Chain A
């Protein structure tokens, strides 16, 4: 069981390191046309008229009138048009596409188009929005009674900013309409999501739409819903032009017009009696941007997880996803959780301080244990390993002693602090989505020569899925890893085993692979072609989840993290220097140790970016100001030389070989650790992330006044 974790040479290693792996921008198609978007320059307006320049031969405009199906992009709802109808809702909203053989000429044509806008009032502040896309309430117990009887009430507002996924490979898509069929290929996470969207926009039958996943150069959720939008647009263009159409975003277009992490603002209130939190009242707003996209599901996760790892028996949570006239927000690793886990842990630290208590000790007194109810009256069915993991992290970085040491007055130019954060990630799709919406189907095909192919719609976007899937199959079948084939998904060739999201692929689909190959082993016939199909089975121990009431097991299980960040600040320049980032992670059995640790390390660094340097905002006109890599700063190899990730293995009986969700966990629980360290150094309360060098300088000089 356990030696499956021994690392192997990844399936995709060679072609990527040789530079022969073809990402969508590398695909050469003779006669392909390039597409360039005309995007709105204003945040909210009616389109009064569009004046086109004279078009050279071979150049076409593609817009709403060319959509042969429905001018709607199916994501969860369908409020976003493929091409703008008569209004634009954010700067960057796609109005039309210019298509033609020379990319530079298409750009020139776009620059000559004149749009007459009648500007409308725009909402850029989520707290002032009058359009709430989704509004959820849940709670339990006697919240008002507890607040009435409290010894003390704590009340604060905590804010989190934008996040840009910054996958190194920008979004790109090629569509080819030929013989009544549309084939779309590109950088994407969820081929069947794209399939459904393209089918709606083109009006074509199911078997006349094909989506092929190219090698995807990073995604982190940024290619979960966005590719559906771009795919519809290139598909419509190809159907009009009757030629293949290619759109590859340059970095600025990608940063300013594709999905981002939801900024949030949350009011956290706690009633404390006899030194313990008895009740909490939480009100969260997520900035959804101009269209609803995935905000319902992000909001669900945020409101369900608003109290983090703590057992709060009297609880009221109100969550809203509000519209603003800014870029539509979407999925980014953590999916609503990093915001609330940051808020809750930092809030707990502040409450502890108010109570005169050591923050870690105070937090430990409130941690959930196995058997406790979840916030939605589900159960923590399995062991909660936080206490052991806290000890492990303490050994890794000497948190407790350093916390005490750095509490002593520091007077030098360089001052240090340390923080610790506890988090979980609810494994998989929220609620009964896996059973009712996804209904994953997985196939395994054995060829006559004894090679076995895994037919799955799940994509390898760098997280090593092709390797881990093949390891599971190889181990179950008892045949070499090299004999297992996993290809980039093509909707013509694979069943829908669900999207590559919610950290579900290994845990849910990996288990389907294990079951399918176990059956294949039993039924194996040498020299014959065989196909085994396996369908998702909802674990029976789960307490059914009702979305209408927010009641039941929102997730079948949880992966856990304890992260610590030790920080040094230069009090003269405000510069941050991360001395070390340490984490203990329980993702169940690691299916490949190098892959899992690589995921943890990568996620921790993203968490540090989210806490500090990755500042992004829109200005008073609604324009994203940091639209390039010179302005949106992500960590380099020099920024955090000490990242230590340790696995704490707590097997999950319903996951393959004991594995459970892994991908998103590491960047959910970093920011509060980072900010705790900042607060210790500055001796000042911090209530937002990212906390930049500029924020630091401001805080330092404010202190001196």
Chain B
């Protein structure tokens, strides 16, 4: 195979590098999508979260070869959606963004929670973001924001 074909934020792309390259590195360096952050490179912190075929994934643990034929969405792609607008307002209303480093990952995790469970309980929300570490907020404001997004975004999910 000459290249790896996948959809990146809705666009068809062809990656010509190695199948063993790390998705996180390629997103940041080749595609300049620096909204995808690197916090640990061991799949623990979730700062590098992306959505692959509708599921939340730590891009630092994904090799390029494994996303051939897949649909990859980063914060840059998601931020163009109606759903993002609702999440954006909810997070803003409760000042859930402190240092911001976990936030792109948290937003994508929010989308993944609501896409499966449009009216999640608090326990479901906390479980849904349990793979995204935050050191600043203590999580309360983020959990609150997701609850607000679920309510205000009635019909979107």
Contacts and interface: CB of A to CB of B under 8 A. Distances in A.
A485 B82 CA distance: 29
Contacts, number: 167
B62 interface: no
A395 interface: no
Contacts of B37: 23, 25, 168-169, 217
Contacts of A165: 135
B130 interface: yes
Interface string B92-136: 111111111111100100000000000000110111011111111
A463 interface: yes
A630 B131 CA distance: 12
B10 to A, nearest CB: 16
A673 B95 CA distance: 28
B38 interface: yes
B38 A634 contact: no
A13 B97 contact: yes
A637 interface: yes
A18 B75 contact: yes
B139 interface: yes
B138 A601 contact: yes
A199 to B, nearest CB: 28
Given A18-B79, A638-B126, A594 B141 contact: yes
B44 interface: yes
A168 B137 contact: no
A20 interface: yes
Interface residues of B, number: 55
Contacts of A26: 28, 34
B75 A19 contact: yes
B32 interface: yes
Interface string A157-173: 00000000111111000
Contacts of B152: none
Contacts of A21: 100
Given A19-B104, A218-B136, A629-B44, A464 B95 contact: yes
Contacts of B79: 17-19
B42 interface: yes
B41 A13 contact: no
A549 B134 CA distance: 42
B143 to A, nearest CB: 7
B40 A251 contact: yes
A704 to B, nearest CB: 33
B39 interface: yes
Interface in A564-623: 592, 594-595, 598, 601-606
Interface of A: 7, 9-10, 12-14, 16-23, 25-26, 28, 165-170, 215-220, 250-251, 461-464, 592, 594-595, 598, 601-606, 628-630, 634, 636-638, 640-641, 643
The 7 closest A-B pairs by CB, nearest first: A19-B35, A462-B99, A16-B100, A217-B101, A601-B138, A594-B95, A19-B75
